[in-house]
Amino acid sequence: MMIRSGWSPLSPADGVLHIAQTQAINDIVNDYNLAAAASVSTPMRVGIDASSISEQPDRRLPFRNLVGSLLYLANRTRPDVSFACGLLCRYMDRYTTVHWQAAKHVVRYLKATSEHGLLFKRRSGTCKDQPLDLVCYSDASFGTDQLTGRSTTGFTCYINGCLVSWSSRLQPTVALSTAEAEYMVIAAAAQDVVFLRQLLMDLDEPEAGATKILTDNQAAIAIGNDHVTRPRTKHIRVRHHFVRELIADGTIVLQHCPGTRMVADALTKALDKQTFEQHLPRLVGTATAETEQRKAVEGEC
């Protein structure tokens, strides 16, 4: 079942719901005269220098309108462009032609992937009798904002392998280490986890056991599991130690995930083509790709 925009009940025929905003993407492509523009394979070029600002941006460029349209897609069905849109949003009042070209780059990427969207599949085989499985991946890019030195948060939450929540945003304060930045992401992801667990309880489908939050930073895991105040971590704001409370009461458990498998990496920085395409299937997909995957793993939880 394919939905171009909006939401619809799950199709009982194939048990797969694919939500895409193809028409909205095509409208943006046409509105900004990019139908003939060359397609690109990633939402943002690696190494782009977006730090240049203008106190008097060229108001003739419809930069704000375009970024607003892209943000609408990123927040609904296209998590793969969340980082690019978040970065561009930081320059709404001081954009330059560099930012304008970067915004059009996102459109060229969307033009090439307009059929991508969110995938939801009905449980089948032995999975039908299993509790719902909620898993969250969290990552951070340390100190990458060139204007403030703040880090970027990225996390994705899955229920039975289906993406249901994601975030890519600038952290509110400067982290003093990679471990601190990663710990701050875990705290942000944990807030979504608490909400999703409550939602599953309301649906009479409570998760069995603690929710796994995966990170590629062992030091961040140690901070979460350590209730002792230490010289290198004593400055961390109290609000982030919400994580320790959730670990103690059995709501979450922190686990290590190799960096090569950390899908949330795509929500923290621009990636090269090979790395980005490695993570892409966990972020978005097509109905055809989902059908092939379902044939390969049918009956597995």
Residue-wise pLDDT tens digits, 153-167:
999 999 988 999 999
Domain shared by 83 and 149, yes or no: no
Statement to judge: residues 179 and 90 lie in one domain:
no
pLDDT of residue 231: 63
HSE-up of residue 276 (Cα within 13 Å, Cβ side): 20
Classify residue 25: in a domain, yes or no. Answer: yes
How many other C-beta atoms are found inside a 10 Å radius of the C-beta of residue 28? 22
Residue 162 CA: distances (Å) to CA of 122, 281, 285: 10, 11, 11
pLDDT for res 283: 94
Residue 135 lies in a domain: yes
Residues 99 and 187 in one domain: no
Which pLDDT value is given to residue 235?
77
Domain-embedded: residue 209? yes
The segments of the chain whose pLDDT lies below 50 read 1-4, 6-10, 12, 287-301
- Find the domain containing 43 and state its range: 16-117
Residue 10 lies in a domain: no
**Which of 92, 117, 142 is the C-terminal boundary of a domain?**
117
pLDDT at 93: 87
| Residue 35 placed within a domain | yes
Is residue 138 domain-shared with residue 25, that is, in the same domain? no
Q: What is the pLDDT of residue 273?
A: 96
Q: What is the pLDDT of residue 15?
A: 77
What are the strands of the beta sheet with 252-256, ordered from one edge?
162-170, 152-159, 134-141, 211-215, 252-256
- Residue 125, pLDDT score: 61
| C-alpha span between 53 and 26 (Å, rounded) | 30
pLDDT at 282: 92
* Six token digits for residue 74: 């990123």
Task: Provide the pLDDT for residue 59.
Answer: 83
Total domains in the fold of the chain = 2
Amino acid at 97: T
The pLDDT of residue 168 is 97
- Final residue of a structural domain among 117, 134, 155: 117
Identify the pLDDT of residue 188.
Answer: 96
Residue 4's alpha-carbon distances to 18, 40, 72, 199, in angstroms, are 9, 22, 14, 26
